[in-house]
């Protein structure tokens, strides 16, 4: 399916994903059309419009667009536009998804109320993600107004000062379901997190963790995936 969705430009790539049903929400489609993926794949601009992961340096990759779309669609009910929603993007890497999430909660021109924190444990990637975001007017506005914060830290601990979060996205596979992250979810709130299975085969599953308005937590095992692990920072 992936190669069939590739496009000659960003709008074509995202429209193809929408046309085959890998994106079903017009809100997600519009947000992904307005964030140019090539701004976030500076070393491989020609490959930016393929529906596949791409290297971004520091042994990291920008995830495939259909995975970013799946994460946005899962979190969407918790990310109303211009309602002050708080979102945490763990393993923010290139900054692409952080920008799409901010577009969803702050609106297409980045002027609505909402706050998105992107956290990565590699300083070089955080610097690069800020440069990437500054390539568009909306990205510069989101950074300059503080609606998007890109910070260095261990994402396994979350980022308590920015919470509690209506939506948490984890972009690397956790070795366990981190309770600290569940604690930082709002009531109600949702987390989208890949977790390594204990089956010994190295399989990973997306878990969707919901906290309802009374604080009751439910965990649902969703699709099988392949993410890089959430690790200690390189020395």
Pairing of strands 60-62, 148-152: unpaired
Total Cβ atoms within 10 A of residue 7: 18
Per-residue mark of binding to ligand SAH, 58-77 (x: CB under 6 A):
--xxxx--------------
Among 7, 65, 93, 139, interactor with ligand SAH by CB under 6 A: 93
Closest approach, Cβ 68 to ligand SAH, in A, equals 7
State whether residue 89 is helix, strand or coil: strand
Q: Which is nearer to ligand SAH, 135 or 188 (CB)?
A: 135
From the list 8-16, 120-128, 135-143, 185-193, the region that binds ligand SAH by CB under 6 A is 120-128
User: At residue 166, what are phi and psi to the nearest 5 degrees?
Assistant: -75, -30
**CA distance linking residue 159 with residue 89, whole number of Å:** 10
Catalytic residue among 25, 43, 52, 63: 63
Among 79, 102, 119, 185, interactor with ligand SAH by CB under 6 A: 119
Contact between 193 and ligand SAH per CB under 6 A = no
Contact between 194 and ligand SAH per CB under 6 A = no
Spell 55-86 as b/e; 16+ CB within 10 A means b. ebeeebbbbbbbbbbbbbbbbbebbebeeebb
Closest approach, Cβ 94 to ligand SAH, in A, equals 3
């Amino acid at each position: 399916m992936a190669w069939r969705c590739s496009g000659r430009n960003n709008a074509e790539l995202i429209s193809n994903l929408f046309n085959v049903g890998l994106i079903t929400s017009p809100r997600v489609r519009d947000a992904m059309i307005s964030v140019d993926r090539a701004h976030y794949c500076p070393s491989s601009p020609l490959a930016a419009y393929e529906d596949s992961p791409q290297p971004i340096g520091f042994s990291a990759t920008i995830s495939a667009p259909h995975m970013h779309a799946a994460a946005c669609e899962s979190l969407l009910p918790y990310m109303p536009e211009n309602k002050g929603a708080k979102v945490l993007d763990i393993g923010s890497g290139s900054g692409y998804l952080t920008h799409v999430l901010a577009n969803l909660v702050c609106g297409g021109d980045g002027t609505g109320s909402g706050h998105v924190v992107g956290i990565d444990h590699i300083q070089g990637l955080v610097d690069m993600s800020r440069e990437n975001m500054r390539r568009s007017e909306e990205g510069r506005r989101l950074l300059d107004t503080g609606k998007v914060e890109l910070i260095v830290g261990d994402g396994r601990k979350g980022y308590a000062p920015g919470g509690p979060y209506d939506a948490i996205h984890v972009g690397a596979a956790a070795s366990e379901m981190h309770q600290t992250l569940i604690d930082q979810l709002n009531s109600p709130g949702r987390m989208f997190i890949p977790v390594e299975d204990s089956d010994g085969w190295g399989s990973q599953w997306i878990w969707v963790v919901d906290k309802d308005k009374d604080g009751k937590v439910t965990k649902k095992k969703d699709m099988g995936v392949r993410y890089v692990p959430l690790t200690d920072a390189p020395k």
